[in-house]
Each structure stands twice: as C-alpha cells, then as structure tokens.
C-alpha cells in the first residue's frame, strides 16, 4: 500500500514538473491567436502567414458560381469543400493557377479566438475575418 501511494506521489510530482518547467503553465492559446491575427495583414504572402500562424490542416478554394435571379444571371463566389493541406500539392495548384479566385484558410486557436484568412489567386492576403466561436454564442468575445 505504501509503495502504491509513493508511486502516485512520484507520478504527480513528475506531472507537475513537466507542467511548470516545460512551459505549459504559461501557454495561452487565445493570446497566441490574437498575436498571430494582429501580425497578419493584407498584401502578405501565404509563406509569411504560415511562418506566423503555422501551416494549416485544411484550405478551401473559392469557387465562382452563377444562378438565375429574376431572369438575370448573377455571379457569386463561395468557398468549396475543405481540402487536406499538403504543401507540395498546394504549391503546385497555386503555381498552375488551379485556384484563380483564391482560397481561404481558417485558424482556430481556442473557443475565443478563431479567424479566416482570405487569399487571392496568387497567394496574397486580401482579408482577415472573425470565425464564429463559442464565445460568440455566449457573447463573451472581447
């Protein structure tokens, strides 16, 4: 029984040491997301954004669509389905102009901080927008 108690205490001490000495106690995902969003601006390249905010897991190509409204053909743009991000195939698609209308990458840091970065067909940032989060639902977003 004493050996079990000693083992539990040692494991708890090891976890506490990893938590505090490993830098996990000071990690704030919301603050990290705010800093990343503040550092990203229009005119930046996708490589600069990846250096600041990390490579994404997925991206969405912007697709041009048309529909008839009151006898007139209306053109509009909307994001397509999410694509898994693989840097080599992503860069090939960009180089071969397979994303002429651009693409969108979403970054989700926490329940309070998430945003979309919109790029044009050359891989240049054209906009940054808030993504809906739990903080919006609870009306606690800063």
The residues spanned by each domain of the chain are 29-138
Q: For the whole model, what pTM was predicted? A: 0.75
CATH of domain 29-138: 3.30.1450.10
User: Helix (H, G, I), strand (E, B), or coil: what is residue 15?
Assistant: helix
5-9, 40-44, 110-114: range with lowest mean pLDDT = 5-9
DSSP state of 6: H
The full 3-state SS of 22-45, as one line of letters, equals: CCCCCCCHHHHHHHHHHHCCCCCE
Cα(98)–Cα(130) distance, integer angstroms: 26
With 60 as the cut, is the pLDDT of residue 87 above it? Answer: yes
Higher per-residue pLDDT: 82 or 10: 82
CA-nearest of 129, 137, 77, 123 to 107 is: 129
Tell me what pLDDT residue 122 has: 92
With 90 as the cut, is the pLDDT of residue 104 above it? Answer: yes
Tell me what pLDDT residue 92 has: 94
Encode pLDDT of 129-142 as tens digits.
Answer: 988 887 767 777 66
Q: What percent of the chain has pLDDT over 90?
A: 53
């Amino acid at each position: 029984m004493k050996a079990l108690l000693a083992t539990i205490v040692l494991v708890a001490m090891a976890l506490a040491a990893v938590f505090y000495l490993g830098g996990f106690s000071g990690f704030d995902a919301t603050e990290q997301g705010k800093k990343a969003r503040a550092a990203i601006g229009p005119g930046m390249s996708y490589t600069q954004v990846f250096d600041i905010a990390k490579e994404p897991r997925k991206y969405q190509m912007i697709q041009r669509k048309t529909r008839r409204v009151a006898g007139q053909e209306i053109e509009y743009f909307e994001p397509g389905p999410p694509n898994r991000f693989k840097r080599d195939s992503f860069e090939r698609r960009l180089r071969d102009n397979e994303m002429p209308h651009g693409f969108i990458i979403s970054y989700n840091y926490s329940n309070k901080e998430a945003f979309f970065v919109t790029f044009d067909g050359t891989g240049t940032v054209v906009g940054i927008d808030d993504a809906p989060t739990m903080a919006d639902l609870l009306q606690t977003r800063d």
